[in-house]
Structure 1
Amino acid sequence: RKHRAVSPPIDNRCQDSPIKPYTGIPESCEVIVRAGLLHVGAVYRRGESEPRFSADASELARTPLALRQAVERERNRPLTREESEDFLAVQAKLRTVLPADFSPQLDRALAAPLLTASRPGGPRVSSAAARSLSTGTVKRPAQPERGTTPPTDTQNAARQHRPDNGPDQRRGRGK
């Protein structure tokens, strides 16, 4: 008897509710840390080679919400002017290459403020707002629970969170 391979049905939950993968990442960080399933957790800013947050398993065991909070902190930081311009350029390119079915997601109510806010002299746009446009939703992700604060000794604090004036945003990224 020959067996025929059958593909599993396609899961469209992410397309139907694009907020689920967005909120799922910080939630997954918390679950993974609490279950002790990683040796090191780190959060990087796009285009940088140094992490904005890094902690080993013992540090995360003491502060289980630290990784989740680092992800959310990075998501909610304001975009620089250059990042805003790059975001808008990507949105414009998507409009030319994606099927028409995706246009409504790009045209959501949040698009108008983002498209005007990044013009010279306009206000800075948070990365969370930019991502909510690109995922096609205006729903804001859930805020993390307040937990214990990360260690305050200078060696760990410097390694765990680097201020926003880090290396060039574009380093390591080709155009």
Structure 2
Amino acid sequence: MIQIADIARWILGSFATVDEVEQGLKKVVVRSWTTGMIKVSILMCYNPPVMRHLLTWMFIYTLVMALGQIFLKMGMSKMAGFSLQSTKDAFLILPGLLRSPYILLGAGLMAASFVLWLFILSWFRLSLVFPLTALTFVFVVLLSYFMLGEKMLIQNYAGIVLIAFGIFFLLYK
């Protein structure tokens, strides 16, 4: 099996020696006599185990984010008759929001998804992971149907199919 360090040696030739291999980030830091420190990024798309980890983490992130949205909606639905007409209204309703278990659960899930997102950004390329956040739309539509009783329209189905194709084309270039 080809290792990342072997790929770096092949790319840079015999004049480079591998100083450090960051396996988790799939980067190789090499020392070259002529160019100093060089970082060589290996595309994660060609490493199936890393892609499985990416898909696992993105699945968890998008599901937690979508559940947070669903619980926030459930909490706001319990606040019947409330609408934000002014900033003052927001401060009047705040104590009630902080006592709602759905709002607290939704806010906690949103905070957890933020922390997950920070980890994902530290592990993978933004240009790869950000388009995958479109999975959140899929989960929100499906969870809205099952948990909130919202109707699925033909536009919802079409959107899910388009997002699925987009993610497929993104991952399998």
TM-score range (shorter-chain normalised) is: under 0.3
Q: Which has the larger radius of gyration?
A: 2
More strand by share: 2
More helix by share: 2
